[in-house]
Amino acid sequence: MRHGTRRPGGGGTARFRLVMTSVQPEGLEKNPLVSVVLIAYKRPEYLKITITFILGQTLGDFELIVADNSNSPESARMCRAFDDPRIHYIGREPSLSMVSNARSGMKLAKGKYIANIHDDDVLDAHFLETLIHPMEQDEKVGLVFCDHRIIDADGVEDVAISDQNSKRYGRAGLAEGVLTHRADALFDQAIPTPSGRVFRAGSIDLDEVYERVGLAYDLWMSFLHCKSAFECYYIPTRLMSYRVHAGSATSFGSFKNGNCSPPRASRVVLM
């Protein structure tokens, strides 16, 4: 693995009204700084946890687009119960492919930055604030990603597995900063699951997230970022937790058997 980093030189149906928060002409609603696109499918017990952690972010200037591919009344009621005007629930009927659900959700984003989160992952409170900072400091940075933990169905981390995962994908020894060898980072899959990254709106063409890439849409998005004119920036802190459970395609036991890769392209339940 030759990839390294360098420090940059400078700085459906809407169920809720959106609160927008960036500068617009007087009299118009303001756009949010960040759009969090949460793709969901029939996992309300985890969805509630994920939303709770998103709403607990230290950076509150965001909209939360819940793109529910099951159009679940239970999930809709849950979102309504949060009583937070930043939540924008979209029930898909009929269901879309996972790629279409994610892409269409991201294309609805009004924020300067976009996060694409899965419904069973968990964000640390400082996730958004920390990941947008390099892009706020340097307009040439288009993608920021971080390291992450591996947790089980109950939210308990196995530290040894988290460490093994970071090492296997070249993040353990990767310093904070701009990737200097993006091709190597791409092939080593150093850029993690979608829930571990935030990108600048317009830094890639979302119409190039093609239907045929299927369950590997996140890997394809990594490719689009690596070939873009924008820089990719790594933060070595574990600011996201990737949950492995019976509802995902790979069980937690498979990590203990040596496959320590999060099954990024195999979450078949997120159709």
Across the chain, the runs of DSSP E, i.e. the strands, are 5-6, 34-40, 62-68, 87-91, 113-118, 122-123, 141-151, 177-179, 197-200, 231-243
Quick check: pTM over 0.95? no
Q: Does the pLDDT value for residue 18 go beyond 60?
A: no
Q: What distance in Å separates the CA atoms of residue 83 and residue 205, rounded to the nearest whole number? A: 33
Mean of pLDDT over the chain? 86
Q: Does the pLDDT value for residue 7 go beyond 50?
A: yes
Q: Does the pLDDT value for residue 71 go beyond 70?
A: yes
Peptide bond into 32 cis (omega under 30): no
Percent of the chain surpassing pLDDT 90: 77
DSSP 30-83: PBPSEEEEEEESS-HHHHHHHHHHHHT-S---EEEEEEETT--HHHHHHHHHH-
What is the DSSP secondary structure assignment for residue 20, as one 8-state letter?
P
Q: Does the pLDDT value for residue 267 go beyond 70?
A: no
CA 159 to chain centre: 22
Q: For residue 6, what pLDDT is reported?
A: 73
Q: What is the pLDDT of residues 231-249, one digit of tens each?
A: 999 999 999 999 998 877 4
Among 61, 57, 67, smallest CA distance to 107 is for 67
- Per-residue pLDDT, averaged over 115-139, amounts to 97
Residue 241, strand partner residues? 122, 149
Contacts of 192 (CB under 8 A, 6+ apart): 145, 146, 147, 148, 169, 171, 240, 242, 262, 264
Q: For residue 15, what pLDDT is reported?
A: 30
Q: What distance in Å separates the CA atoms of residue 86 and residue 262, rounded to the nearest whole number? A: 30
Q: For residue 260, what pLDDT is reported?
A: 45
- Per-residue pLDDT, averaged over 14-43, amounts to 66
User: Which residue reads 């353990």 in tokens?
Assistant: 172
Provide the b/e sequence for 144-158 (b: ≥16 CB within 10 Å): bbbbbbbbebeeeeb
Q: For residue 57, what pLDDT is reported?
A: 98
Question: Angle 217-198-263 (CA atoms, 0-180°, nearest 5)?
Answer: 40
113-118 and 34-40: which strand pairing? parallel
For the chain, how big is the Rg over CA atoms in Å? 18
Q: For residue 8, what pLDDT is reported?
A: 62
Q: For residue 26, what pLDDT is reported?
A: 53
